[in-house]
Structure 1
Amino acid sequence: MIFRSPKQAVLSVLIATALGGVVVADASAQSRSSERSERGNRGSAKAEVLFPEATREEPKVKASSKMGGKLKKLFDAYNKDEYAETRTLADEIIAAADANEYDKAVANQLASQAAYNLEDNAAAKQYLQQAITLNALDNNGHYQALLMLAQLQLQDDQYAEGLANLDKYFAESKSNKPEEQIIKGQALYQSEKYAEAIPVLKAAIAASPEPKDNWNQLLMAAYAEAGQTGEAVKEAEALAARNPADKKAQLNLASMYMQADQMDKAAAVMDKLRAAGQLTEEREYKQLYSIYANTENKERDVIAVINEGMSKGILKPDYQTYLALAQSYYYTEQVPQAIEAWRNAAPLSKDGETYLNLARVLHAEGRIPEAKQAARDAKAKGVKNPGDADKIINLK
């Protein structure tokens, strides 16, 4: 939940595969809450209490009478999305000798929103820190500023600072919202504290009436990175069962089965996607033929998947693909097809070892002239033991 104008694009959580970015939500709640709080202090409205269990005693200081007009201009500029003007007016209040701590805190808070919308995160963090240090805002504004500062720090890979401010936020505000706990869980994951992330993520998911699938994906990833493969598989199975038509969930399940060395299960998931025509990317075909290549007696399946992928133009005819095809043909005693695949793979290899293997196979098949040429090509491209190539080249 970084609070920003609804007109701006929303950042989202990423896993997987990766996983990058900070969990945020689209909301202008902070600015609206700040405005209500400021008006409440002037007696025109009562702000909603967002942190009823907070340990912090709210300051008694209110907006000064001398700054009333300037504060009104500040809010007017911000509500019109005039962010550059908002910063200018806020800076004037911050520097004013007649402004009290509350005036300056409000100005810093609105300036942080403007800076964020202007994509100046460094300034936004500075304004937020000043608003927090002044300690003059009501609890609504104070803790929302602290949460936003933590998120911006995490977004900028300042994990130690961001996590410290998150811990301070939870300890003082007593907020236990699942969507905020997820922020901490993801930050722990991204800072490679996987074992610490797991209980935080589990608690957030358990507390939410409708946990998002990407929260479960994050928990699955944390289990996997922490070496708890069995738990990761359970999460992946549960997620795939809830979303049988979601290709991403099924691919994640196949990946988890692969990590758990359950190749038969991984292959079953991928084959189901293949039968449904859902394998549309090269990496997906590569994942499937790799599963079969690492499973005993599945060479014919490797051949079928590779040939299908290449015929559809999805699999590129690269070195690894041709090599897997050649080996699978060879082990199923389809030697002519294996030789053809090795011929295609050898020029794409970084050295001459594939040419040398081709020369050996050709020699075994009695195709001596072809074997000698392949051996020469091997030497020209470079092999570890040139003598092995010479033995074939010097055959009588």
Structure 2
Amino acid sequence: MLLRHTRTALLSLAIAGLLGTGVMADAQAQGRDRSERQSKQKQEVLYPNATREAPKAKSSSKMGSKLQKMIDTFNKDEFAEARTQADAILADGNANEADKALAAQIAAQSAYSTDDSAAAKAYLQQAIDFNGLDNNGHYQSMFMLAQLQLQDDQYNEGLATLDKYLTETKSTKPEDQVLKGQALYQMQRYPEAIAVLKPVIDATPDAKDSWVQLLMASYAENNQGAEATALAEKIAAKAPNDKKAQMNLAAMYMQADQMDKASAVLEKLRASGQLNEEKDYRQLYATYANMDGKEKEVIAVINDGLQKNILKPNAEVYTALAQSYYYSDQIPQAIEAWQKAAPLAKDGETYLNLAKVLYQEGKKPEAKQAAKSALEKGVKKPEDAKKIIAAP
């Protein structure tokens, strides 16, 4: 036998893409609904267990009108002007620590609202260092600084700021712990991420799916496949009609080499019409290709995808189709598929496979022509093609 069966594994574990916007996106809410939030904060103590004693000093009467003007400008979304006014207060010799802390906080929000993250971080650090805000303002500035540092891939700085925030506030908010878990995950400190995330998720009945997915990703990266799969099953069971959850479950099964379970999940999606992207069909036929005796299923999936114009008629698809036909003893169909694949392939290897099959089937003239085409496109072993060409 001149052919060798090559199985293609497409283990497209799409977990990392799920994590990019979940926890960090909370920072984007910092600059909105300000009046409502400020009014609420005056009535609510957000950090009742904080170890910091809020400063007794208040904004000076000398700066009252300037501070109010700055706040009014900010609340009109005139961020550039509000930042200019804040800078003036920061430079004013009559401003006390409370005045400057508030001005730095407003300047940070203004800078963030104009996508100047570097300036926002610098202002937030000033707001913290002046130590003039109440605990609500002080620790919200610290939390936002941690978020922006982590968002800008300053993981060591961000984690240090976040740890200081958690230590001083004694926060029990699950969102705060999840942010730390995400930071540890991004730093590739997976065991620590798991240690932070698992207790939070176990103690939160309505834990967000994004939190569970983060823990699942941490398990997967830490080579704890059984735990990752169990979480994927939990998510999928809660959302049977959620394609992303089902695809993630299938990917976890594939990674665990449980191809039968993976194919069952994907087939349910195909039956419901949710396999509507090329990568979906590729994942399904690749799953079958990695299972013994599933050539007919590969053929059915590929032909279905081609008929629906979801799979592109390219060399990879036709080669997988040809191999499945060949190993299910459907030689004419295999030849036809290889004939479609060969001109689309980047090199002459597919033409060479075609030449070998044609030669074995006694179609020597076509085999010789295919072998010549193989040489023209380039093959690793040109002597194989030359033997077919020179054969009587």
Scaled by the length of structure 1, the TM-score of the pair is 0.91
The one of 331, 350, 353 equivalent to 1:357 is 353
Pairwise CA distance, 1:319: 1.7
Q: Any stretches of 5+ residues in structure 2 without a counterpart?
A: 1-13
Inter-CA distance 15–62: structure 2 relative to 1 (3 Å threshold): farther
Q: Any stretches of 5+ residues in structure 1 without a counterpart?
A: 1-13, 38-44
Letter in 1 for 2:19: L
Q: Deviations over 1:137-168 (max 9, x none)?
A: 11111110000001011111111111111111
**Higher relative contact order, chain-length normalized (CA < 8 Å, sep 6+):** 2
Q: Match of 2:265, SS?
A: helix
1:187 matched to 2:183? The reply is yes
Q: Match of 1:92, SS?
A: helix
Q: Deviations over 1:313-355 (max 9, x none)?
A: 0001122111110100000011111111111212222221111
Inter-CA distance 34–280: structure 2 relative to 1 (3 Å threshold): closer
Inter-CA distance 99–33: structure 2 relative to 1 (3 Å threshold): farther
Partner Cα separation in structure 1 for residue 264 and residue 333 of structure 2? 27
1:370 matched to 2:371? The reply is no
Q: Is the 8 A contact 1:30 1:141 kept in 2?
A: no
Letter in 1 for 2:260: D
Partner Cα separation in structure 1 for residue 43 and residue 236 of structure 2? 43
The one of 48, 51, 55 equivalent to 2:47 is 51
Aligned to 1:11: none
1:158 matched to 2:154? The reply is yes
Aligned to 2:226: 230
Q: Is the 8 A contact 2:35 2:75 kept in 1?
A: no
The one of 86, 94, 97 equivalent to 2:93 is 97
1:24 matched to 2:14? The reply is no
1:106-255 to structure 2, matched below 5 A, reads 106-255=102-251
Partner Cα separation in structure 1 for residue 298 and residue 173 of structure 2? 48
Q: Deviations over 1:71-108 (max 9, x none)?
A: 11111111222211210110110011111111111000
Aligned to 1:274: 270
Partner Cα separation in structure 1 for residue 38 and residue 223 of structure 2? 48
Aligned to 1:7: none
Pairwise CA distance, 1:292: 0.2
Letter in 1 for 2:342: A
Pairwise CA distance, 1:27: 5.3
RMSD: 1.9
Partner Cα separation in structure 2 for residue 87 and residue 116 of structure 1? 10
Q: Is the 8 A contact 1:34 1:141 kept in 2?
A: no
Q: Match of 1:24, SS?
A: helix
Q: Is the 8 A contact 1:34 1:140 kept in 2?
A: no
Deviation larger for 124-133 or 196-205: 196-205
Inter-CA distance 153–27: structure 2 relative to 1 (3 Å threshold): closer
Inter-CA distance 34–269: structure 2 relative to 1 (3 Å threshold): closer
Inter-CA distance 266–130: structure 2 relative to 1 (3 Å threshold): same
Identity of aligned pairs, percent?
63
Letter in 2 for 1:182: V
Letter in 2 for 1:378: A
Aligned to 2:5: none
Partner Cα separation in structure 1 for residue 63 and residue 246 of structure 2? 59
Aligned to 1:41: none
Q: Is the 8 A contact 2:15 2:248 kept in 1?
A: no
Partner Cα separation in structure 2 for residue 126 and residue 375 of structure 1? 67
Pairwise CA distance, 1:363: 0.3
Q: Is the 8 A contact 1:90 1:107 kept in 2?
A: yes
1:336 matched to 2:368? The reply is no
Partner Cα separation in structure 2 for residue 383 and residue 19 of structure 1? 42
Q: Deviations over 1:233-254 (max 9, x none)?
A: 1001111111111111111111
Aligned to 2:293: 297
Scaled by the length of structure 2, the TM-score of the pair is 0.92
Partner Cα separation in structure 1 for residue 42 and residue 320 of structure 2? 70
Letter in 2 for 1:252: N
Aligned to 1:318: 314
Q: Match of 2:25, SS?
A: coil
Aligned to 2:3: none
Q: Is the 8 A contact 1:263 1:295 kept in 2?
A: yes
Q: Match of 1:53, SS?
A: coil
Deviation larger for 324-333 or 194-203: 194-203
Partner Cα separation in structure 2 for residue 168 and residue 208 of structure 1? 24
Partner Cα separation in structure 1 for residue 127 and residue 349 of structure 2? 65
Q: Deviations over 1:175-202 (max 9, x none)?
A: 1101121111122222222222112221
Pairwise CA distance, 1:298: 0.3
Kindly tell me the number of residue pairs found equivalent between the two proteins: 376
1:379 matched to 2:381? The reply is no
